[in-house]
Structure 1
């Protein structure tokens, strides 16, 4: 018996964008597009006939904007929604509102006729829809995720690209014991559902918390708006990382979208390296890259936390951190929007402790005091 396909409704005022999204999504054998709509009013009528598993929703549309429709939808008939936006400053600010409104993920609006865009984003769009279909809306107040992920396109279908490991960016840890430093560094990885989970975690941390570096799967430019939003809510200082930024107590660095972030050490101090590179675990930034760099540069001076997200990015890197002496923690299934990344890390044997979201901040503080 064939597995049930994920039924998707596309809402976008551009006919060419609707056509491109249909083509991309229908290329995946696990997805079925049940219909399209040019505005929320047409979509509402379509939903009366058949409720989709996932909706892709444009931000700017005539008669009613996407955020207004999203809020109405979540208050009346919650359905996993993936927002579709262009890379504009206004668009990034609007998508921050989608966090509170209940969006599960965000994808970049397809560039019509741009083969390079589809090569980078075609599979990302499909995975965003699959992740949204797994999301448990009752466990969240809103979430946003995204990442540059790519698989090439051939003869109208997506052809799986070789799935690279962190070897593509840096060699494995040497296995040598790492000298202890006076400061602990915390490395965090998250994807689908991670933005609101990270907000909850960081809001619980005091201003004197250990330095934190984060990879959250999210497209370029959106990470700056996300960091700015968190900075206004938290006692710790939060910013989008820039190459060479030091890792300091009371500060949080978030990897910029479409760039890998590595932890590096100079003497007893840590800083980050932000650099381009291939997709690793089909993501850029990749949690595996950050975690491997921490295993190499920090060893037992580090703590790793892997949070809600689809896929297995971070599982290999967390095992490497665990083997290098780092303390490793995974978010539990009950509090995860999608229990993919934590589940894979646990299965590989790289997790020391499993905790619900509301206890992760306290665990960071406990580990900090223990040192």
Structure 2
């Protein structure tokens, strides 16, 4: 990202949450290469066998100016870091010291439970927790993928005042998840993958 973009990054965004499935690893590489080194803490749920998640995190770390790592229980969420869900049978969620979008330090939480929207970890589970804990201080991004996981969660984030973005059909491998979110009116922006980082970091039109 150009230095001008880095200087103008929004400082009122406390967290970015990303969901992806089929074609998502490739989409994430395009998205994260344009992130700033000091980007807001970013949580990612990518539908993948958890055994492969550490290798995916290493691949993404090679292209992202920020540090990409696997999320762990109670890990503090800090600027300049991207956290990938990797724990089998656990949903990746977020917890604020003060809930309801009122502020407080943010931490990753790994929650055992049943699949949500057919998946564990689930994008809907992540997005729902971000809506409840971070509210209008968050950005939600739903990328390529089959099915509907993330659509209802993105709607919850939108209703909580978050800035919400869906990948457009022309750049999706599978348009299922973004299409479902768009049909619910959950996305405030629909954009090609190579423009999403700009919308997320600057909330630019």
Which range, TM-score by smaller chain?
A: 0.7 to 0.9
In the alignment, structure 1 residue 191 sits paired with structure 2 residue 21: yes
Distance 2:87 2:183 in 1: 28
Kindly provide the CA deviation profile for residues 101-151 of structure 1, in whole angstroms up to 9, marking residues without a partner as x: xxxxxxxxxxxxxxxxxxxxxxxxxxxxxxxxxxxxxxxxxxxxxxxxxxx
> Contact between 2:13 and 2:139, CA under 8 Å: does it hold in 1?
no
Show the counterpart of 2:185.
349
Show the counterpart of 1:262.
93
Show the counterpart of 2:69.
239
Distance 1:202 1:304 in 2: 14
**If you compute each CA radius of gyration, which structure gives the higher value, 1 or 2?**
1
Q: CA deviation at 1:310?
A: 0.3
Superposition map of 1:296-335 within 5 A: 296-335=132-171
Residue 182 to residue 357, structure 1, CA distance change in 2 (3 Å): closer
Kindly provide the CA deviation profile for residues 193-243 of structure 1, in whole angstroms up to 9, marking residues without a partner as x: 000100111011120111100100011221111101211222110001001
> Contact between 1:243 and 1:274, CA under 8 Å: does it hold in 2?
yes
In the alignment, structure 1 residue 277 sits paired with structure 2 residue 113: yes
- Look up the SS of the partner of 2:139 in the other structure: strand
Show the counterpart of 1:64.
none
Show the counterpart of 1:163.
none
Distance 2:62 2:175 in 1: 28
TM-score normalised by L of structure 2 = 0.88
Aligned length: 188
> Contact between 1:257 and 1:284, CA under 8 Å: does it hold in 2?
no
> Contact between 1:218 and 1:257, CA under 8 Å: does it hold in 2?
no
Superposition map of 1:1-40 within 5 A: none
- Look up the SS of the partner of 1:261 in the other structure: strand
TM-score normalised by L of structure 1 = 0.49
Distance 2:60 2:117 in 1: 27
Distance 1:196 1:312 in 2: 19
Distance 1:215 1:310 in 2: 14
- Look up the SS of the partner of 1:263 in the other structure: strand
- Look up the SS of the partner of 2:130 in the other structure: helix
Distance 2:46 2:129 in 1: 16
Gaps of 5+ in 2: 1-10, 99-103
> Contact between 1:222 and 1:257, CA under 8 Å: does it hold in 2?
no
RMSD between aligned residues: 1.4
Distance 1:321 1:233 in 2: 28
Distance 1:354 1:342 in 2: 9
> Contact between 1:294 and 1:302, CA under 8 Å: does it hold in 2?
yes
In the alignment, structure 1 residue 288 sits paired with structure 2 residue 118: no
Kindly provide the CA deviation profile for residues 42-77 of structure 1, in whole angstroms up to 9, marking residues without a partner as x: xxxxxxxxxxxxxxxxxxxxxxxxxxxxxxxxxxxx
